[in-house]
Structure 1
């Protein structure tokens, strides 16, 4: 490989460049990308890296900033960010939440969820307007490590542990819109160092230091301990999450083959069924995986870990026939030999 020379080329630029060459679907060459720029260190580092790599990948870069209007200074900071990007010859598209709810507090998770939904809704609308194929966010390995640790603490299923995927659909449609996260191989320490080296302006959000929020506590109190014990822990945890993504995405092929062997020959298309005795003869971990996949495939919903385990326990040999409501009208029922999945009843005729 002939390495490009010129201004602002560093080992970090080379690392991201090689990562994108290995994964061309992440930020395809020549694509129109909409970058979500908060003004914090992660998004500013991402912006600087992609601007410097633009000449190699021929992207068309568009920038977006969302002003939630939760803080009095947010409007001023958005204007400062717009002035800086304009000085770089860039256009920053700013959306302001006209009627935001109250800022989130220790007991109210709805405001945070509402803000997230608003951001992604605005990003989708802007991307459609600008003809972008990818919305790009600056989530790092540190973000993914925090998310995985929180999901572990909550007892999430493996799908929940395969969090913050590097590429996923953002919205369906005639032109599917993708959400890309190219910085998942970089830690927060990396982006901080990059911002200092490149002398990038940063916007400070005091909410990021508020330890009333669980993520901030993990960031300030848990990850530093892990990094002190095992330097580079965040990146390794993030890499493990990526392996889980692969297992979730492609391990289902093997599970589907196993489900074919467990299918009941007496089952109709409208009523999926499994052979109960064959299922409970397997190891508990395999029972959970097969049940989880089977239920998700037919109901299009994910059963949480605890109710899934409750159902599995009730299916064991020696347990009586029974049934379980799964939500959204789906019902699971079983006798001593067979397990059936009944779909929701059709609505009554008008």
Structure 2
């Protein structure tokens, strides 16, 4: 691929020099490439910057088998990559499902497996500031906790020592379109990106254009807000871990627990943050803010013992002294006084 340089190349290069642990020099990188605008811009930019950062690049494309033309597009992308001297692996979903969550889980599972095989510590995606602003709006509409508003971060653990990295969060979708034009990169369009059945598409095509018309640059500012929240969360997490040290205990069965009375004596805002942090460390999510409030209303000691069903087949349980995490199948349902019918306390 011919050497080319633009202001966007310069911006990304300077960002990587400032954040050297994002895409460390000389580390092999595994790029997730859908063939769409953002992932092709990612491929073009990182391919051009290889001479400065010395990364070996490996491309991966997942064929979800959702569309008749998917097979042909995968073959065309493979031919293009080979013509550029970029190795690429194409995987087909053997038992495709129609929901986005399942597709995302399959993609990341395939990427993690390939990264482990290749010895790559970084899996790289083309998420942009536009994607992050869409995520913020969706999370706001769902009543997410503050942590959910900062969920699309520059890096996160994918599994073991492998990290998922998003180096283009400083660029917008208009920036990636510009790069694709400047570098004459091919783009393979996915019609599902315009399907109004997907909530993200409606945010992208109906909500954000209105916000941009009212307040030009809104998408970038929303993304920057998410970045600031993420940075604040990192600092806050250190303080929360210190506070949790004084609240932690164990049950008679040696299960991790929190001391109920000291915990509920704290301000409600601190209870929210501490409980989220404690459960997040155990890879458990509490759901949206409204559900969290219902749960906290049941934790004061005068409310007696109780149980709250969580994700991943677990439940939060409490007695007079402790709050702990248990497997739901091992516990007996406790009557829920949130509903007049007295059904199980499931959020």
TM-score under structure 1 normalisation? 0.83
The residue that corresponds to 2:275 in the other structure is: 291
How far off is 1:218 after superposition? 0.2
Q: How many residues align?
A: 326
How far off is 1:114 after superposition? 2.3
Cα distance in 2 between the residues matched to 1:342 and 1:63: 40
Cα distance in 2 between the residues matched to 1:26 and 1:220: 31
Counterpart secondary structure, 2:293: helix
The residue that corresponds to 2:37 in the other structure is: 41
Match among 20, 23, 26 for residue 19 of structure 2: 23
Cα distance in 2 between the residues matched to 1:217 and 1:330: 34
Q: Is residue 267–residue 273 contact of structure 1 (8 Å, CA) maintained in 2?
A: no
Cα distance in 2 between the residues matched to 1:73 and 1:296: 40
TM-score under structure 2 normalisation? 0.84
Counterpart secondary structure, 2:26: coil
Counterpart secondary structure, 2:192: helix
Q: Is residue 42–residue 192 contact of structure 1 (8 Å, CA) maintained in 2?
A: yes
Match among 294, 299, 302 for residue 310 of structure 1: 294
Corresponding position: 1:50 with 2:46: yes
Cα distance in 1 between the residues matched to 2:195 and 2:128: 20
How far off is 1:324 after superposition? 2.4
How far off is 1:179 after superposition? 1.0
Q: Which runs of 5 or more residues in structure 1 are unaligned?
A: 1-5
Instruction: Give a deviation string over 1:266-315, Cα, whole Å, max 9, x none.
Output: 99965634252x54454322232233334545x55232233431232234
Match among 74, 80, 91 for residue 84 of structure 1: 80
Cα distance in 2 between the residues matched to 1:153 and 1:265: 37
How far off is 1:121 after superposition? 2.0
Correspondence 1:71-220 to 2 at 5 A: 71-101=67-97, 104=98, 109=99, 112-172=100-160, 176-220=161-205
1:185–1:301 Cα change, 3 Å: same
Cα distance in 2 between the residues matched to 1:270 and 1:85: 51
Structure 1 range deviating more: 183-192 or 255-264: 255-264
RMSD after superposition: 2.8
Q: Which runs of 5 or more residues in structure 2 are unaligned?
A: 331-347
